[in-house]
Amino acid sequence: MEETNIIVITGANTGIGLETVKSLLRSSQKYHILLGGRNFEKARLAAENSTSKATSQSSVEPFEVDVESDESIQRAFEAIAAKHPRVDCLINNAATSGACFDSYIQDGSITTRQAWNKSWDVNVTGAHIMTLTFLPLLLRSRDPRLLFITSGLSSLQDASDASNPKNIVPPPGLPKTQPFAGYRSSKAGLNMMMVEWAKSLKNDGVKVWAVAPGLLATSLGGNTELLKKLGAQEPSLGGDVLRGVIEGKRDADAGNVVREYLTPIQPW
């Protein structure tokens, strides 16, 4: 009898997270997907809607988790551990494009320090503590997998490439605006954290990746029509990219930032 893989994914009631849930439901493999959201009711509705038209053997179960709260993460762990013997794949997805707070600096709604601290809290610290907390369940899997969702904007090599027309150098003088500096910095930090986890868990048999799903026209990214004009693809493609990693497509590239555009491994 085929074993059901247990997947935990944070921030999955919308955006790339929800598209990953839908993609897994389209798979011929059998999953029990634990769909996490900060608001349980939103997570419940997302779980219900994702399975309403699906003809899958897989199942979806909502749970509440706020990755900015250690107490919320611990409660989520205890609730899941009480019902499930293990976790086969943990996807730290809560920190996607929605965790970009740089624009709020420009409109004055939060300070620079608040924006940067929040970017790091959601994108890096929350994902780290989520991983640390759920590790006992992950290590019970026969084939444990750990994914961190990063961004193409996180590459230090790409950001410092003088030949890249996207790297605009402003004229001298003030003011200086850095539209995505906090977000990009936090995602680069996330990549380093992934490397540290990959080293720490190598002898435990855990495969670890950061995944850059590409520019996608999700509601979390803001104006979806504008994003499409900039070349954004359908969000469902991002879900399929993550499913490919979950199902073994990128096993040879574990320990790297992987993607399905330009080069298959994103430069550091």
Q: CA 203, CA 201: separation in Å to the nearest integer? A: 6
Do 19 and 236 meet the contact criterion of CB atoms below 8 Å apart? Answer: yes
**Does residue 183 have an active-site annotation?**
yes
Told to judge if 261 belongs to the known catalytic residues of this protein, a careful annotator would answer no
Cβ(169)–Cβ(161) below 8 Å: no
Task: List the catalytic residue out of 23, 50, 118, 187.
Answer: 187
Sign of CA dihedral 154, 155, 160, 163: negative
CA distance 189 to 127: 11
DSSP label at 37?
A: E
| Long-range Cβ contact pairs of 113-116 (< 8 A, separation 24 or more) | 115/182, 116/182, 116/185, 116/186
**Whole-angstrom distance, CA of residue 80 vs CA of residue 200:** 24
User: 187 an active-site residue?
Assistant: yes
Residue with tokens 């779980």: 47
Best CA proximity match to 118, nearest among 95, 93, 87: 95
Q: Which of 151, 155, 185, 186 is catalytic?
A: 151
Do 157 and 107 meet the contact criterion of CB atoms below 8 Å apart?
no
DSSP assignments along 122-179, one per residue: IIIIHHHHHHHHHHHHHTTSSS-EEEEE--GGG-HHHHT-TT-TTSPPPPSSS----T
DSSP 197-237: HHHHHGGGT-EEEEE----B--GGGS-HHHHHHTTPBPHHH
Considering the candidates 183, 185, 186, 207, report the single residue annotated as catalytic: 183
Q: Residues with catalytic annotation?
A: 151, 183, 187
